[in-house]
Amino acid sequence: MLKTKRSIPARLAAAAFWLALWQWAAVAVGQEVFPVSPRRALAALDRQRPTADFWARVAFSSGRIVLGFALGCACSAALAVAARLSRTVGLLLDPVMQLVKATPVASFVILALVWVRGRELSILISFLMAVPVLYGALCTGIASADAQLLEMARVFRIPAGRRLRAIWLPAVLPAFREGCRTALGLCWKSGVAAEVIGLPDGSIGDALYRAKITLSTADLFAWTLVIICLSAAFERAFLALLGLAVRRACGAMPGQEGEA
């Protein structure tokens, strides 16, 4: 915790440096179309923030992207357990996961538009982006479980619940935590990108597209800042809840005490 507190001034200084560089670039170019200055971007955000339309768009996109991520968590956990129980299942899933990871988001979006409506598109795309990352993280965590402890638990016939708390959760949850950190960022980027292509009414992606075609660069930067803040906020909130669940399930694990 002490390390985190000491790092706050350094982080603020780094943020101030990049904001100053952004301001200098805007002044040097001298064209407000691009790049817009930080002051104008924040003014555009402050102008939109009190409106009902702003919060409706935030709720629309956030709900669908978080739902896609949650479905990805559940599906990847089920698939990882199935791969652990059956080597054949693991062999069959590996090429599918590699294919999903390698396929561009735009290709998924265009193909998905054939089967789903634009309003549900970000759910599907977020789900597809989350599954391979979380599946890989869970498989890594499962494989890292101590084989000797598992054998001892089998010999002494320790109940499944105690095995889960004492062996499986300490092995799986650190890897799952890191997987979630990566997957959440991917879900937000790909989910909003899907909205920009699918253009569902009342979404953040739709607002980005409207700002682009009207050359409202200040609004474009303002919505981009909103996406970044939402992604960071949801990541911190989810990881905090996950850390709380870990501590309640199996006690604090090494390395977590000092994490924010």
Buried b (16+ CB within 10 A) or exposed e, 192-203: bbbbbbbebeeb
Report yes or no on 14 lying in a domain: no
d(CA 238, CA 233): 9
Report yes or no on 240 lying in a domain: yes
Report yes or no on 214 lying in a domain: yes
Extended beta strands in the chain, E state = none
pLDDT on residue 6: 54
Report yes or no on 12 lying in a domain: no
Report yes or no on 132 lying in a domain: yes
Q: Domain count of the chain?
A: 1
Question: How confident is the model over 212-253, as pLDDT tens digits?
Answer: 998 899 999 999 999 999 999 999 999 998 888 777 765 544
Give the residue, 73 or 9, on which the prediction is more confident.
73
Paired tokens of 215: 């050359």
pLDDT at 43 over 50: yes
Q: Which residues contact 47 (CB under 8 A, 6 or more apart)?
A: none
Mean pLDDT of the chain, nearest integer: 87
pLDDT on residue 249: 64
Which domain covers residue 224, as residue numbers?
59-250
Report yes or no on 25 lying in a domain: no
pLDDT on residue 98: 93
CATH number where 128 lies: 1.10.3720.10
d(CA 93, CA 87): 10
Report yes or no on 156 lying in a domain: yes
- Of the given ranges (34-48, 71-85, 125-139, 183-197), which has the lowest mean pLDDT? 34-48
Question: How confident is the model over 76-103, as pLDDT tens digits?
Answer: 999 999 999 999 999 999 999 999 989 9
Report yes or no on 39 lying in a domain: no
